[in-house]
A = this chain, B = another copy of it.
Amino acid sequence: MKISELVDLFEKTAFNAKRLSIAAKIYEEMIKNNAFVFFTLAGAMIPAGMRNVISDMIKNDFIHCLVTTGANVVHEICESLGFKHISGVPEVDDVELSKKGISRIYDVFIEQKAFEGLEEFISGILKELNGTFGSYEFLQEVGKRINDKNSFLRVSYERGIPIFCPTLHDSIIGLHITIYSNIVIDYKRDISKLLDLCFQKKKFGIVIIGGGVPKNFTLQSMLLAEGFDYAIQITTDLPEWGGLSGATLDEAKSWCKLKPNAKYMTVYCDATIALPLIYAYLLDKLK
């Protein structure tokens, strides 16, 4: 059975399988209707193996602007430099791991030497740069210097897709910038650029993977514009806890971040499962 057939069947079920099917169809409609798609990617999706999914989605024109975290940028560059994430288990002695120079992200291990490689790479770039950058401008400089066709920083650079990282300083790269450079990351530039994107003569879609700052930073840019026409969200946080990452897309309508008649759906599922399913669905239906 093809994945798209299963996702189609999911529409006749209930709970989160049905939600996933509806979300996939809304994403399909975004693309068919030529909407501009903001894609927000939280947390630890790159260590969790979603790197190729993201870069392939960019290559397939399913993502027109990426908003992500410092952690995802850090781990993407580590992989671009040839360092690997190691498949581990969560039940370990973390002090023992640290003695071996291994850091853990749930069931993913990474060696400290990856961060040493990163430091060398980033400090090298920083020596060449001066002045003030939006995070998207700094990441263009990084992407320009990456030589890996699976790097979403590289792919985005080549295709002119902006990547915003509103928490770049909340990562090891933030430490590098503090230690090694005099450049300033001025997020006013990110906000201005994002606002420009929100005023294109287009329909707008947002695809939210996992909440966090990427979700809020992108949604808030619509406070000054018309609101999103389409929105889908994949999260394991839940509305009853009251936090932003689990907040419903209905709630976003009270803030006018979604248009009153927007199409939207939340899927409560680990994105490592739901995102590849939706991506495969789009490939089947649109390519």
Chain A residues near B (Cβ < 8 Å): 1-3, 6, 9-10, 12-18, 20, 42-44, 47-50, 71, 85, 87, 90-92, 94-95, 97-98, 102-108, 132, 166-167, 169-172, 174-175, 177-178, 184-188, 190-192, 210, 212-213, 216-217, 220, 223-224, 236-245, 247, 250-256, 260, 268-270, 272-274, 276-277, 280, 283-284
Contacts and interface: CB of A to CB of B under 8 A. Distances in A.
A49 to B, nearest CB: 3
Contact of A90 (B43, B48, B212, B239): B239
* 4 closest cross-chain pairs (CB), A and B: A13-B49, A17-B272, A15-B242, A16-B270
A3 B91 CA distance: 29
9 contacts: A42-B243, A43-B242, A94-B254, A104-B255, A105-B247, A166-B170, A175-B223, A184-B186, A273-B273
Nearest to A171: B220
A251 B104 contact: yes
B243 A210 contact: yes
Contacts of A212: 212-213
B242 A44 contact: yes
Contacts of A97: 254
A103 B3 contact: no
Contact of A240 (B20, B175, B184, B238): B238
A164 B79 CA distance: 31
A178 B188 CA distance: 5
B48 A13 contact: yes
A132 to B, nearest CB: 7
B223 A12 contact: no
A241 B270 contact: yes
Contacts of A90: 239
Nearest to A100: B254
A108 B14 contact: yes
Contact of A17 (B177, B190, B270): B270
B107 A18 contact: yes
